[in-house]
Structure 1
Amino acid sequence: MIQPQPLKPGDTIGVIAPASPPNLEQLENALPFFEKLQLNIKLGKHVKNVNGYLAGTDEERLEDLHDMFLDPEVNGIICAGGGYGTSRIALNIDYDLIEHNPKIFWGYSDITYLHTAIRQQTDLVTFHGPMLASDIGKDDFHDISKQSFNQLFQPKLLIYNEDISPLTVLSNGKAEGKIVGGNLSLVVNTLGGPFEIETKDKLLFIEDIDEPPYRIDSFLSQLKNAGKLDEAAGIVIGDFKHAEPTNDRPSFTLGEVLDHYFIHQSKPIIKGFNIGHCQPHFSIPLGVHATLSSETKSLIIQPGVMTGGRNHED
């Protein structure tokens, strides 16, 4: 894997909106956070554009993505928000440009599609973490979420255990592999296309928001039928915010759906990780080696940024 260079004080972060239009007031509210990190901000040319439910046309959003990777003054890229739209531009991304200009790329939710496409086309490690308008600019932005940005300044081994949140083991075991995934609906959206997620011998991480149990069931059923759950070495279940039935009709609970697919499998499967549309939001690099253990109830993830002079993770 290609690991990006770590940040240092005085570096510049590029902000793009590759999906839906961000809340501009919350985007502005997020800027002092980066000032405290001694980072400069460079907004994408089209980051404030609105085109229906998209932050500008496909061409404009693609242009901002390319410009930030190409700009030598930009040391990392953080997405303003999610929503919808990244799958529309994935086919036209210049992946050679990204591979030859590797740098930190950070976001989550709809950005999952870009994480998957970029990783599988370039081997670049990317980061699943809170965004400006969606999280950083809000009053409830948690200290643990803030501290997660420290991993961008120096290589940091990440350890998630029950010191952070209660964890529930659905299936016992210990597994190692590169951690991949993100938003469950976006993971499913990759199936059948050129960026179909690769889960064989990997730790698959999933999370989502505003999806009732029957929708989560349908997503997991599709992943199961595509062989993606069986191929995975282990499953990391993050936060599923507002996973409640939307009407008064009979329904399974989220827990019953997860049990149906994951309980007593021949691999480690643990739920309860505060990773996703939640506060705190524990940020993780995607594409690096990780270990999931039911015995220690822990997820240990290798650093996402480059260590010393190494360009690649063996």
Structure 2
Amino acid sequence: MSIVKPSRLKKGDFVGIIAPASPPNLENLERGILFLKGLGLKVKLGKNVKNINGYLAGTDEERVEDLHEMFLDQEVKAIICACGGYGTGRLAKKLEFEIIKKNPKIFWGYSDITFLHTAIYQKTRLVTFHGPMLGSDIGKEDTHPLSKEGFLQLFEQRKLDYTEQLSLLKVVVEGKASGPIIGGNLSLLVSTLGTPFEVDTKGKLLLIEDINEEPRAVDRMLNQLYLAGKLQEANGIIIGDFCDCTPKRELSLSLEEVINHYMKLANKPAIGGFQIGHCNPHISIPLGVHAEMNTFEKRLVVESGIL
């Protein structure tokens, strides 16, 4: 199955806002909506966006309903997630992937949204976008301009050429690698294992990032990916931001020691230091498109994700 790129946005287009995971901060969400309007876009809110069900933004059925309705709405040209948190894995078995397949459009988010990125790619090959969200990132008053600039890739075809001009990069395993980019949040990738939506890393560039996980937890998750063959099957590994992943006990390996251990076991080209994930700035990238990584040049080049 070949990949499907969504159509680009133009000024005056409608974008749909959904909360498929946790409830968003409503003040931040409003500021995020103003940002979208400043790009010349019109906004439709999912009818369940403001619902609260414990740590979930409504019931599973309500959150699935909003996602389906936005894909079915012919006026809506892009779907932007309000925030991450918890709960997207609960939706996967309830999704009608045929709806998504017949109505390909921009789908944008990260963190817990990783489960949806993975499931949608596995079932439809739709290119989706790993990028900062309205309520948890864009709506904050200290959001870096580069985080906002990433949305411009939705309006015109542009390659991402990520070098040390953007952030300090560190080579962990030397080499060159290419293939479609897949991945995202490490915790969510691990949670797909053994399910119908198990992440397929074979021949891919695997992106990993996470937040608030101690090195011992990162160790457990990387070990599970390694034992499942997922690290070895990847062509290369892109190490994004691991925010606040510091030891909370005196006796601990460092995060760097843990990551380096598994990268060397996998023995595939690997570079760390990418500002992709729970960081500010957060550089957004399309998932599913072809990319090339070169450790000798410390460079990652990602093709455009839109038509």
TM (norm. structure 2) is: 0.98
1:299-314 to 2 correspondences below 5 Å:
299-306=300-307
Aligned to 2:148: 146
Map Cα deviations across residues 115-173 of structure 1 (whole Å, 9 max, x no partner).
00000100100000000100011012111111111110011111101000000000010
1:100-249 to 2 correspondences below 5 Å:
100-247=102-249, 249=250
Q: 2:54 aligns with which of 49, 52, 63?
A: 52
SS in 1 for 2:240: strand
Aligned to 2:284: 283
Q: Is the 8 A contact 1:171 1:264 kept in 2?
A: no
Q: Percent identity of the aligned residues?
A: 60
Measured in 1, the distance between the counterparts of 2:260 and 2:102 equals 43
Give the partner amino acid of 2:54.
Answer: G
Cα shift at 1:52: 1.0
Q: Is the 8 A contact 1:172 1:264 kept in 2?
A: no
Aligned to 2:98: 96
Cα shift at 1:51: 0.6
Cα shift at 1:264: 7.7
Measured in 1, the distance between the counterparts of 2:260 and 2:121 equals 30
Measured in 2, the distance between the counterparts of 1:289 and 1:194 equals 24
Q: Is the 8 A contact 2:83 2:134 kept in 1?
A: yes
Measured in 1, the distance between the counterparts of 2:60 and 2:220 equals 29
Aligned to 1:311: none
1:296 aligns with 2:305: no
Cα shift at 1:265: 5.5
Distance 1:266 1:220, change over 3 A: closer
Pairwise CA RMSD: 0.9
Deviates more, 1:290-299 or 1:256-265: 256-265
Give the partner amino acid of 1:157.
Answer: K
Give the partner amino acid of 1:78.
Answer: I
Give the partner amino acid of 2:281.
Answer: P
Measured in 1, the distance between the counterparts of 2:265 and 2:61 equals 47
SS in 1 for 2:231: helix
Q: Is the 8 A contact 2:83 2:136 kept in 1?
A: yes
Give the partner amino acid of 1:261.
Answer: Y
SS in 2 for 1:263: helix
Q: 2:12 aligns with which of 6, 10, 21?
A: 10
4+ residue stretches of structure 1 with deviation over 2 A?
263-267
Map Cα deviations across residues 184-214 of structure 1 (whole Å, 9 max, x no partner).
0000000000000000010000000000100
Q: Is the 8 A contact 2:111 2:277 kept in 1?
A: yes
Structure 2, unmatched stretches of 5+, are: none
Map Cα deviations across residues 259-282 of structure 1 (whole Å, 9 max, x no partner).
111138542100000000001100
Q: Is the 8 A contact 2:173 2:271 kept in 1?
A: yes
Measured in 2, the distance between the counterparts of 1:74 and 1:57 equals 23
TM (norm. structure 1) is: 0.96
Measured in 2, the distance between the counterparts of 1:147 and 1:65 equals 25
Measured in 1, the distance between the counterparts of 2:155 and 2:9 equals 5
Aligned to 1:310: none
Q: Is the 8 A contact 1:170 1:264 kept in 2?
A: no
Measured in 1, the distance between the counterparts of 2:153 and 2:31 equals 22
Deviates more, 1:268-277 or 1:21-30: 21-30
Q: Is the 8 A contact 2:231 2:266 kept in 1?
A: no
